[in-house]
Structure 1
Amino acid sequence: MQDENGISFFGALWNGLIWFIQNIAEAFYNFGYAITHPQLWLDWSNKEAIMRFVYYGGSVEFFFVIFALFLVLTAIGLYYRNFMWGMVRGLEGFANTTGRFFAWAGLLMVIQQIVIVFMQRVFTRPDMSFGLGIPFQMDISWFAEELKLYNAMVVCLCCTYTFVQGGHVRVDLIYAGISHKAKRVVDMCGAVLFMMPMAVLTWMYGWYFMWRHLIVPKPSASDTLDRLVAKSRALRWNVETIGFSPNGFNAYFLFKILLVAFAAMVFLHAIAFLYRSYLEYVEGPESEGKYLDKDSLGEGEEAYEGAH
């Protein structure tokens, strides 16, 4: 009985390995077919193309296309170290640029909150109106609830920027006391075992969560491509516009889009962090922080660097 269990275990392991290798090999064909037939998934005047886009965005095929591309870029980077540094600088630059731009949402949030207080308490107005020509006029409660969107932008789109800047809170039990190479090994393991899987799981959940609030019939992660294509005959856009209060903020579908954007940015930065950790491991302590574009609070504020 034990021998049979052992054989079945190793048989399942072997079949899983074969499946994994086959999907990597098929990823190159799938990628080539997708870019040579964009009308099958990008022509959104065709309802079937929309459903194909929905299916492939959260599919195993898409995951292995990304994974195969990652393997190819990693192989090139291992051979040409400057190419890997270029990818690190590009991905960190993307995180910094995005984060620095959307960090201004925090200022907008403060200004809008002050305006809301004045309009409610000083001018006793039930609504606010902005714009030239055709004004944008909504109830005060709409603008009050919209403040959550600014907060979500800061959280989702500035997360990797904060990571680059070293601004996340850390609980350090052993990291500070270990050697430079041991730190880089910990960083590489963290990127592969924690950051990447978390980003993939968040994407898989968030992708279908987003589309279920944009179209009907509602797609499901368990739906096959053929089933989704069949559903496309009844497809129509049904963007979520329901607020928590009668006159409250009614564009909550934007939060679903931000969730997907957050997962994508974390995955991309996990790659950047993995590459940086490997390069700093290979090149030694003198390469620590190489090409790192960190913000400065100005002369005399060195004690606060990394704490903002």
Structure 2
Amino acid sequence: MLDFILWFFANIAMSFWNVIYAVTHPGLWLDWSNGEALMRFIYHGASAEMFFVVLTTFLIVTGIGIWKNAFMWGCVRVLEGFANGVGRFFAWAGLIMVLQQIVIVFMQRVFAASQISLGFGSSLSLDVSWWSEELKLYNAMVVALCCTYTFVQRGHVRVDLVYSAVSFRTKRVIDMAGSLLFMMPAAILIWLYAWYFMWRHLITPKVSASDSLELLMRKASIIRWNVETVGFSPNGFNGYFLFKVLMVAFTAMVFLQAVAFFYRSYLEWKEGPESEGKYLDRDTLGAGEEAYEGTH
């Protein structure tokens, strides 16, 4: 137990040095023309060192926020604003998906065309099956990038066993516990899998979470880009690596929203019922919105 405590605090202390060293030596991990730099970036993206950097940052920001509640409210507004901004933008992918599907149906059934061209002059011409399979990408964008937006908007389904029957501050304690014990650990676990899953479809030789930094440095001499471009059909959509990128983006946004939700729950617990929904930027249907409550 003592060894674990010493290891834990040693890594917390080292996280400051790791950040300073990374910032002052960007070429060691940002120069992707160098195989070793790329391998360092991949390794540290899901390493214990990265975990302790994130943990230390969270602890410092939380400590400052407990001391200065206005600072913590600022963090909440920035993180929730980020989730809302990304979600509201990529929600338009749903409309694009519908319009594209209409065009595909017309081109196939009415004009009997085998290709669809997009653009003026030098246009992009691809098989109809490519455009049809690409619709999955729009759906993935809505799911991955609008998830935290929906959470901020209180649009997720809550399985309620005791929540509605307890007091306001007890609810906030439940929310804080949910953020720390479920949202954050789940996001970290998914990140560990999604990070290497993404890179295995972008480069060769393959990398995995079990690879040590020394092994990755040895692989760096033969590394090359090998972006996944194989579709499920001969002329079908060939950008499936984008789905892996979306998984990583989704996980990062869920973690950030878990932090924002923890901060909001703490502040509402501390300030009382009058602070419920403070600074919350929720979409509204305008006057008479309450008539639609629970119908969408």
TM-score for the superposition, normalised by structure 2: 0.98
SS, match of residue 126 in structure 2: strand
1:143-182 deviations in whole A, cap 9, x for unaligned?
A: 1111110000000000000000000112212111110010
Which of 146, 149, 155 is matched with 2:143 structurally? 155
Write the distance in 2 (CA, Å) between the matches of 1:306 and 1:150: 26
Cα displacement (A) at 1:305: 4.5
Write the distance in 2 (CA, Å) between the matches of 1:303 and 1:267: 34
Show the counterpart of 2:179.
191
Which of 97, 103, 107 is matched with 2:85 structurally? 97
1:255-301 deviations in whole A, cap 9, x for unaligned?
A: 00000000000000000000000000000000000000000012122
Where in structure 2 are the equivalents of 1:125-140 lying within 5 Å?
Answer: 125-140=113-128
Q: Which amino acid aligns with 2:6?
A: I
* RMSD of aligned Cα (Å): 1.0
Q: Which amino acid aligns with 2:243?
A: F
Question: Residues 307, 272 of structure 1: CA spacing in aligned structure 2 closer, same or farther, 3 A cutoff?
Answer: farther
Which of 74, 93, 106 is matched with 1:118 structurally? 106
Write the distance in 1 (CA, Å) between the matches of 2:49 and 2:16: 10
1:58-108 deviations in whole A, cap 9, x for unaligned?
A: 111001101101111011101011000000000000000000000000000
Cα displacement (A) at 1:254: 0.2
Where in structure 2 are the equivalents of 1:156-305 lying within 5 Å?
Answer: 156-305=144-293
Q: Which amino acid aligns with 2:63?
A: A
Q: Which amino acid aligns with 2:121?
A: G
Which of 70, 73, 77 is matched with 2:58 structurally? 70
Show the counterpart of 1:7.
none
2:32 corresponds to 1:48:
no
- Asked if the contact 1:166/1:306 (under 8 Å) is kept, the reply is no
Show the counterpart of 2:73.
85
SS, match of residue 138 in structure 2: helix
Q: Which amino acid aligns with 1:130?
A: L
SS, match of residue 138 in structure 1: strand
Show the counterpart of 1:145.
133
SS, match of residue 164 in structure 2: helix
Write the distance in 2 (CA, Å) between the matches of 1:137 and 1:86: 47
Write the distance in 2 (CA, Å) between the matches of 1:90 and 1:306: 28
Write the distance in 1 (CA, Å) between the matches of 2:58 and 2:147: 22
Write the distance in 2 (CA, Å) between the matches of 1:88 and 1:211: 31
Write the distance in 2 (CA, Å) between the matches of 1:92 and 1:302: 23
Cα displacement (A) at 1:47: 1.2
Q: Which amino acid aligns with 2:30?
A: L
Question: Residues 306, 79 of structure 1: CA spacing in aligned structure 2 closer, same or farther, 3 A cutoff?
Answer: farther
SS, match of residue 198 in structure 2: helix
Mark the runs of 5 or more structure 2 residues left unpaired by the alignment: none
SS, match of residue 291 in structure 1: coil
Mark the runs of 5 or more structure 1 residues left unpaired by the alignment: 1-12
Cα displacement (A) at 1:304: 2.6
Question: Residues 45, 220 of structure 1: CA spacing in aligned structure 2 closer, same or farther, 3 A cutoff?
Answer: same
Q: Which amino acid aligns with 1:258?
A: L
SS, match of residue 280 in structure 2: coil
Q: Which amino acid aligns with 1:115?
A: V
SS, match of residue 129 in structure 1: strand
